[in-house]
Amino acid sequence: MASTLHSELEVADDSATLYLSGELSADDAFVLSRACGELPTRVNTLRIDLHGVTEMRDDAMGAIRSVLRYWRESRGGSFRLSLASERIVATYGEGRFASTSSLRNAPAHVVEATPALTAMYL
């Protein structure tokens, strides 16, 4: 079955944002990891934005874990994962994102009630 996932990469200085939309499944892991592997070597921070994902198969988070594992192993870089539903916006950060001054005493995962609050961290 063909994937209906769409992805776009935006690169700015030493960071990149991978925007995902459509249906996400574990089958997308290879394509997403390959896209991240083709980023310039100066990029050491990756953001994965799942706001546009409309459907996640049961195994979908396996694709995200695979991409993040690849990123840590190949770049040793930081990452931020943002996802949203009608009720919450959640942001998880690792690396330099996990130690920002506004989140210093917060747990590694931060859940915000409104998208506006999360936008401050993006």
Residue 70: which of 31, 42, 17 has the closest Cα?
A: 31
Paired sense of beta strands 89-94 and 78-84, if any: antiparallel
For the chain, the domain total comes to 1
The C-alpha atoms of residue 104 and residue 100 are separated, in whole angstroms, by 6
Q: What is the CATH number of the domain that holds 109?
A: 3.30.750.24
Q: How far is CA 117 from CA 44, 95, 114, in A?
A: 25, 20, 6
Res 15: pLDDT = 86
Quick one: 38 exposed, middle or buried, by C-beta within 10 A (0-12, 13-18, 19+)?
Answer: exposed
Residue scoring higher pLDDT (108 or 34) = 34
The backbone torsions φ and ψ at residue 22, rounded to the nearest 5 degrees and listed phi first, read 100, -145
Residue 79 has pLDDT above 60, yes or no: yes
pLDDT tens, position by position, 7-27: 999 999 888 888 999 999 989
The C-alpha atoms of residue 79 and residue 53 are separated, in whole angstroms, by 18
Answer left, alpha or beta for residue 46, where phi above 0 means left and psi between -120 and 50 means alpha: beta
Res 11: pLDDT = 93
pTM, two decimals, is 0.68
SS3 111: strand
Q: Which domain holds residue 12?
A: 5-119
